[in-house]
Copies of this chain bind each other. A is one copy, B any other.
Amino acid sequence: MRRFLFLASRAATAPAFRLEDLPGAGRMDLVCRVVTASFVVSHGLRKDVRLDVLLRGPPDPPRAVRFDGAGLRNLNPDERSTAALVQKALAVRPTGTYWQPSTPGISLSRPGLPDLLDGPVVVLDEAGEDVRDATLPPEAIYVLGDDRGFAEDDLAALAPKVVARVRLGPRSLHADQCIVLLHNELDRRGA
């Protein structure tokens, strides 16, 4: 299974955001694009993917929304319908690190970052090894940040788990674009 973890530094943590203003909900539009990039292919969804999104914006951080490709139903590629699924997940009352079910394939919890790092971590690093040449463990968790990158505390939590630092190319890209490139590399390897 391919695993992605997206750290959304200011994404809303309650469902009372407006679907008409996703950028204003702490860049919820980017969260939605990350979901689409993780799962959507032509004429279907990737089943062998798990995506965790750690939302850290107001009013009550943190929340994590887990998307499990094996269970997802009716995930459409557009941002608005994906944001509506995130809203439904955020309406679930969290009980610590236990994953509470929301809609099919989607669940919610209130973890710390270390709770989500249950495997070897691969991070993107412009000074890292070219992804095309890198060793990528099958159980790796690819951890991506938003435009604010990783905070010091995050770097400290990630460091002991990191097994590879890879660069995708010469341009710095958004997290969803990075996921498209990672999927392509792994698809090519038959992973």
Q: Are B172 and A187 in contact (CB under 8 A)?
A: no
Answer whether A173 and B41 are a contact pair too, CB < 8 Å, given A181-B184, A184-B181.
yes
Chain B residues with Cβ below 8 Å from A183 are 171
Answer whether A187 and B169 are a contact pair too, CB < 8 Å, given A20-B20, A22-B80, A79-B78.
yes
The interface size bin for chain A is: 35 or more
Chain B residues with Cβ below 8 Å from A80 are 20, 22, 29, 79-80
Min CB distance A36 to B, Å, is 8
Q: Are A33 and B77 in contact (CB under 8 A)?
A: yes
Chain B residues with Cβ below 8 Å from A174 are 40-42, 77
Chain B residues with Cβ below 8 Å from A78 are 22-23, 29, 79
Min CB distance A127 to B, Å, is 16
Min CB distance A35 to B, Å, is 13
Contacts of A145-191 to chain B: CB distance below 8 A: 147, 168-174, 177, 180-181, 183-184, 187-188, 190
Cα A88 to Cα B76 with chains together (Å)? 26
Which chain B residue lies CB-closest to A184?
A: B169
